[in-house]
Chain A
Amino acid sequence: MPIAHEIAGGMGGLRTAGDLVARMEMLKYRLDEGKNYVAKKLGTSTMDLRDEFTMRKLREKLGIGTITGVPMIGRGIEAKVKIAEVLGIRINSVERLKDLMKV
């Protein structure tokens, strides 16, 4: 059933920009506000945010994680560090990594 929901009305996660808009909603942004914010930060349109063709290339270029396992492209915490930087938001696991890296 989760798959049915994602296909019918979901943003598409790492295939597109679903995780990025989700992060904005976690900061209390409503859906359209979140889409507008992410689109502006990525330098694209809100319609492009849900388009796999545009977002696959853009995600690879920005280093913010891709759905397929491309060697050398950042994933996991590597991608989250870039997401925090690109969106200008705090991600708790990234902050923890930065704290641990302090000399």
Chain B
Amino acid sequence: MECLTRMGDGTPVKMTKEQIKAEIEAGTKDAAHRAHVPELNSNEIEYLMEIVSDPSRIVSVVPGKEAVVTHDVGPLKVMADQSNSGVSIPCSREQAMCIYERAFASDTTELGHIDYSFKPVKPIITQEQSVLQNVNLITTIPVFYGAMPNLGLYYAPDGPFVEPIALIKEGKMSEAKVNMEKAAHQFVEDLEYITTRLYAVGLDGLNIDTTAAAGDADFWGTLMAVEKLKKSCPYLSIEMGMAGEFIFGFHTELEYDGTRLAGLFPHQQVKLAEKAGVDIFGPVVNTKPSKAFAWNVSRAVTMVKQCVKDSKIPIHVNMGMGVGGIPMYETPPIDAVTRANKAMVEIAGVDGL
């Protein structure tokens, strides 16, 4: 019997249960090989196959297994454009956050700048403080402030430091490393400037999204920033969401707590995040669009399961477009979204999404 399923790019395909199972087995093997983690066991593989091949359009977790959902970008998905995955409904950020709270029944919500990186927030911090004060009065659910470290903005032409890739191409590796380190230190300073001012007007939580998008220096800067913020904002909850399943080594020699950052996978990344003081960790596993949805979700669940096991803090796996087994498509099909959701909660055992 054939089942309707998807490819990693969202294309609908039909597969037999045997084909789905083969994809799941291949996906978990790939994850185990790359990240050096155990494969899913036979019971987990069978259960995942049942989830993927379920004939219903949407599936959901069994009662009692519900998990917490945190968000990146948040209200920008309501009032911003496509570049923020938004639907361009004309309304304010405050109104959009109320929509999240009362129409979408979100567990948490998030305030963020339209230009969703930390560097652009610094010059408009008073505006963000003002909106946060409004939001704190009218919302009941926890409010995070979210943005991306996006270390690339600190390099020329957008920032003051020399672009490291340009230096690397010229063979100037030492100079490239110096500029990466300087950019990371400037980010630490900027994040403290921004966060202390938001904390002063009652911020519940900070979401540092797509950490390590610019490689190991990006991750290094974020870990140092979290360590500092835990001293200057002692009652602030910090969520660290990652950008990719392993840390790109552009610098290659940066370490935190004696551990080299380049090449770390989620179950290794979380230990450093814990050490820095992170309260909620959001691992990422990248979707391969050319592979089957079953392959991708199996691979993602395998890596995240080990992360959950090794962590002492809550794990909120990233499950947006193209990560966590979700197809890489602008409007991810909800049959795939709900199946990946159920698999992550019930097999990987995540504390949230």
Contacts and interface: CB of A to CB of B under 8 A. Distances in A.
A5 B202 contact: no
B205 A26 contact: yes
A5 B108 contact: no
A14 B141 contact: yes
A92 B203 contact: yes
Interface in B197-256: 199, 201-205, 235-237
B105 A5 contact: no
B237 A9 contact: no
B141 A47 contact: no
Interface string B132-172: 00001111111100000000000000000000000000000
A80 B66 CA distance: 23
A23 B64 CA distance: 18
Given A1-B321, A19-B108, A92-B235, A10 B69 contact: yes
B15 interface: no
Contact of B199 (A34, A77, A92): A92
A60 B332 CA distance: 36
Nearest to B308: A30
B66 A92 contact: no
A8 B61 contact: yes
Contacts of A94: 202
Contacts of B66: 9-12, 18, 50
A67 to B, nearest CB: 6
Nearest to A89: B235
Contacts of B138: 75-77
Contacts of B64: 46-47, 50
Interface residues of A, number: 50
B68 A18 contact: yes
Interface in A19-37: 19, 21-23, 25-31, 34
B314 A28 contact: yes
Interface in B65-91: 65-71, 77, 85
B338 A10 contact: no
Contact of A31 (B136, B312, B314): B314
B279 A26 contact: yes
A12 B105 contact: yes
A67 B141 CA distance: 11
Contacts of A27: 237, 279
B69 A26 contact: no
Given A9-B353, A21-B107, A47-B64, A26 B204 contact: yes
Contact of A1 (B337, B345, B350): B337
A25 B314 contact: yes
Contacts of B68: 10-11, 18, 21-22, 25, 31, 34
Interface of A: 1-15, 18-19, 21-23, 25-31, 34, 46-47, 50, 64-65, 67-69, 75-77, 79-80, 83, 90-97
The 9 closest A-B pairs by CB, nearest first: A93-B202, A18-B107, A26-B237, A65-B140, A96-B202, A8-B338, A93-B136, A19-B141, A31-B351
20 contacts: A1-B326, A5-B353, A6-B104, A9-B61, A10-B69, A10-B106, A12-B107, A13-B101, A18-B141, A22-B141, A25-B279, A26-B204, A26-B279, A27-B237, A28-B313, A30-B313, A30-B351, A31-B67, A76-B138, A77-B137
